[in-house]
């Protein structure tokens, strides 16, 4: 009986994760459909430091600043993964300069 309870909890967790993934993908699709949504996602990617390098040491960051930057990068990478899982073309679209996004 204990095994079946554990299996049931695993199924509930998997169902919950799948529902969350679908909700997040739906939110990304809605953001990508509008210029201001794409501008918001670009802003988040910039905050996420996904395309920047940081190094410790005398010429680089101190340990605390480096840890903070890595935390930001982790969140940025999670956003990149979300964009890619919804539609691999999302990142390409965000990296383009688009005329319709200038008024966002």
Burial 76-89 (b: 16+ CB within 10 A, else e): beebbebbeebeee
Q: Judging by beta carbons within 10 Å of its beta carbon (0-12, 13-18, 19+), is residue 90 exposed, middle or buried?
A: buried
**Residue 96: per-residue pLDDT:** 84
pLDDT of 8 > 90? The answer is no
The structure's pTM equals 0.72
CA distances from 5 to 15, 42, 61 (A): 15, 43, 49
Average pLDDT over residues 73-100: 86
Give the count of alpha carbons within 13 A of 45, CB side only: 18
Q: Which is more confidently placed, 101 or 73?
A: 73
Task: Write the pLDDT tens digit of every residue in 44-68.
Answer: 998 998 877 776 666 667 888 888 8
């Amino acid at each position: 009986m204990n095994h079946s309870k554990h299996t049931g909890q695993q199924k509930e967790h998997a169902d919950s994760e799948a529902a969350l993934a679908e909700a997040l993908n739906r939110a990304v699709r809605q953001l990508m459909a509008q210029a201001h949504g794409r501008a918001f996602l670009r802003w988040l990617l910039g905050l996420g430091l996904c395309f920047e390098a940081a190094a410790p040491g005398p010429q680089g960051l101190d340990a605390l600043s480096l840890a903070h930057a890595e935390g930001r990068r982790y969140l940025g990478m999670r956003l990149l993964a979300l964009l890619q899982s919804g539609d691999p073309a999302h990142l390409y679209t965000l990296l383009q300069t688009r005329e319709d996004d200038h008024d966002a």
